[in-house]
Structure 1
Amino acid sequence: MDLRQIMEEKERKKLKETERAEGADLMETKEKPCILATIGQEGIYKCFASCIEKHFTIINSDTFVQERELLVHKIQAIFVLGQSIKVDHSLLQSLPKLKVVVNGGVGVDHLDIPLINSFGVKVCNTPHVVDNATADIGMGLMLASARKLVQGHNFSQYHESESLLESLLGNDVSGATLGIIGMGRIGYKVAKRAQGFDMKILYHNRHRRTEEEEKAVGAVYCEKMEELLKKSDFVMLVVNLSPQTQKLIGAKELAMMKPSSTLINISRGLVVDQDALLDALQRNIIKAAALDVTYPEPLPRDHPLLSFPNVIVLPHMGTHTVETTRVKVETMVINALATLNGEQPPNEVKI
């Protein structure tokens, strides 16, 4: 190869490198798809916004309200965490380019899926992501209630004597009977954890688990929920909210439980008739309750349930961990990207 050919080859390489660099710049400057989301205390926390901003331009709900006319034609996806954005007919009608509503979490009872689908818009959620954190909070509530951890903490803060009070006597979890109502993914993970405490595990489910699955966690199936209620020291609710499970636990069911038993709810507040629960606690029909979910959420500060020393009420924080929330947001992004790229999203919810 002579000098002229060498120089020409160098020029060709240089030209290709320039074209490649220009192409990269063009990709970087290409406008990202716009999504509507609430970034801040009532939606997706700011610390997770960067997970989204790699792929999307975020239009905060406050900005959308202020500049609605300029932004309605840009939004292609909505990210809903909790009930931060109300996806109603008016909003759907105003967003002609909307392709997907992605919910952070499993429960989509706050979304009108048939209505959303009628606009040609898909609905996705983030199943499996929340399983471990929710199972953990169930065990945490059971332990905290049985061993009176909240009362013990309060004693440390405000005690007037050095001696522990008789009222702080708790109950052993090890060896006790746990009844799980709803042995889906999360319920099964609860059973695995309870097995580590040598608990006797009963469960009631629409569909019985396989014999192999039952043996793996030492669980015994109760065809009728009544049998589970009568035998359990702790009753944990892990069902989805549906018309069939709304107020699943009412006065009749509470009356079947042992006077020494504890009700634990990590599903949805409406699964329990709160008025019936309040009455059962006032009349000592059951010993205690530990709730991650209520209606409304949070409860008003003067709600009677908050006045009972034997009741623990959390503000629906079962999935409220750094690790779970990060994966939740990342899964929301994956679903949105797939939909906007014309692919089938991995977690579409169909009715």
Structure 2
Amino acid sequence: MAKILCVLYPDPKTGYPPKYARDEIPVIRSYPDGQAVPTPTGTLGFKPGELVGCVSGELGLRPYLEAHGHELIVLSDKDGASSEFDRHLPDADVVISQPFWPAYLTEERIAKAKNLKLALTAGIGSDHVDLKAAAARGITVAEETFSNSISVAEHVVMTALSLVRNYLPSHEVSNRGGWNIADCVSRSYDIEGMNFGTIAAGRIGLAVLRRMKPFDVHLHYTQRHRLPSDIERELNLTFHETPEALVKVCDIVNLQLPLYPSTVNMFDEKMIALMKRGAYLINTARGALCDRDAVVRALESGQLAGYGGDVWFPQPAPADHPWRTMPNQGMTPHISGSSLSAQARYAAGTLEILQDFLEGRPIRPEYLIIDRGNLAGTGAASYKLA
């Protein structure tokens, strides 16, 4: 019997289950690159479209796990040495956590987790796990690659349009009963003709570029591995050797790169100063890619016309985090990859990985980050251990 420790965000304040806005969601059978969607065996423990990413939703895992004699502990209290998470961690065989409500598996916590064999991300992005420490201990790290990539890409497009068109302040004018057209449009522009650039063009970054092309923008990108020439021609992409070269020419810059030591605070005062005055910065990757206070200062000075995204550091962000109140921002809690549509896929993928792991079958290579002490699968292409 295995003990599975699952950390999920709290239930809705209005109660669980919520009243759903729709009766069904579209069925997605494969991802844009041809990768199959999750294929767990047996019956799902939820109906697609239900809220399963919160504590009461339990990712729909309980029916399978209890039927096979495993113990499932689901909680949201994850921070501090006296948390429920830390109390259960020492004898947990599997830890499941979401990027939206991450249980940070630090080197110190991994040292205490003597039984830990699998660190599983429900979603994509495993930087809340100390990958070097996990590799040294032989802990498998996995995530549901591509499960919510399109969800995040859609959020980026929404954020870009909201910032450039000054939608959020204008919506508030309407809510307050006003009709201040001049005030609203004094910061509103068309996105058509702008230069849009993404730093990293992996699954999410490329999906963003594809969705931005119909807006008749000029598309730019930079990343370690250049895209195939046929994709560059298809999207009329301009490749830049460095992020610094890209930000100098783009009106909108989208961050889609992983977080590792060399990218922490990549967008600091110096990098932001290279950007066009009045550029927009969008970050749905990781909050720590940006220097918190440098972003605030850039918005206050007008160097940035807007900043939008849904990632913070730490998560959840404290109530006094300055990104909540800085001007010309379009911040949300970390929701881009946790739509009900995305939850159906990453919950099914979590079940698939658990079934393979607990029943002694290999985990799909595209789901692997660390395997047998080394970066593997998606991890080898996306992460560094130093």
- TM-score, length basis structure 1: 0.80
Matched, 1:99 2:117: yes
SS at match of 1:231: coil
Of stretches 112-121 and 147-156 in structure 1, the one that deviates more from structure 2 is: 112-121
Q: Is the Cα–Cα contact under 8 Å of residues 170 and 184 in structure 2 kept in the other structure? A: no
2:7 maps to 38
Matched, 1:56 2:65: yes
Q: Is the Cα–Cα contact under 8 Å of residues 92 and 119 in structure 1 kept in the other structure? A: no
Q: Count residues with an aligned counterpart.
A: 313
Query: What are the residue-to-residue correspondences of 1:246-325 with 2, within 5 Å?
Result: 246-325=264-343
Output the CA distance in 2 between the equivalents of 1:313 and 1:62: 23
- CA shift for structure 1 position 301: 3.5
Q: Is the Cα–Cα contact under 8 Å of residues 100 and 336 in structure 1 kept in the other structure? A: no
Q: Per-residue CA shift, 1:204-244, capped at 9, x if unaligned?
A: 11121111011122211012323321211111111111122
- CA shift for structure 1 position 194: 0.4
Sort the Cα spacing of 1:252 and 1:114 in 2 relative to 1 into closer, same or farther, 3 A: closer
RMSD: 2.8
Sort the Cα spacing of 1:223 and 1:91 in 2 relative to 1 into closer, same or farther, 3 A: same
Q: Per-residue CA shift, 1:39-95, capped at 9, x if unaligned?
A: 5617942564373123213223489959x79x977x5432222355454235422x3
Matched, 1:348 2:365: no
SS at match of 2:330: strand
Task: Judging by fraction of residues, say which structure has more helix.
Answer: 1
Q: Per-residue CA shift, 1:296-315, capped at 9, x if unaligned?
A: 33444344333334111111
Could you tell me which runs of 5 or more consecutive residues in structure 1 were left unpaired when the two chains were aligned. Answer: 1-31
Query: What are the residue-to-residue correspondences of 1:199-238 with 2, within 5 Å?
Result: 199-238=217-256
Of stretches 111-120 and 251-260 in structure 1, the one that deviates more from structure 2 is: 111-120
Sort the Cα spacing of 1:85 and 1:284 in 2 relative to 1 into closer, same or farther, 3 A: closer
Q: Per-residue CA shift, 1:298-338, capped at 9, x if unaligned?
A: 44434433333411111121102001112111111111111
Could you tell me which runs of 5 or more consecutive residues in structure 2 were left unpaired when the two chains were aligned. Answer: 12-51, 67-71, 78-82, 376-386
Of stretches 189-198 and 118-127 in structure 1, the one that deviates more from structure 2 is: 118-127
Output the CA distance in 1 between the equivalents of 2:238 and 2:316: 35
Output the CA distance in 2 between the equivalents of 1:50 and 1:292: 22
1:327 maps to 345
Q: Is the Cα–Cα contact under 8 Å of residues 166 and 184 in structure 2 kept in the other structure? A: no
SS at match of 2:206: helix
Decide which structure has the larger Cα Rg and report it: 1
Matched, 1:78 2:87: no
Output the CA distance in 1 between the equivalents of 2:360 and 2:271: 48
Output the CA distance in 1 between the equivalents of 2:104 and 2:279: 39
Output the CA distance in 1 between the equivalents of 2:84 and 2:326: 42
Partner AA of 1:211 in structure 2: S
1:141 maps to 159
2:130 maps to 112
Percent sequence identity over matched residues? 24
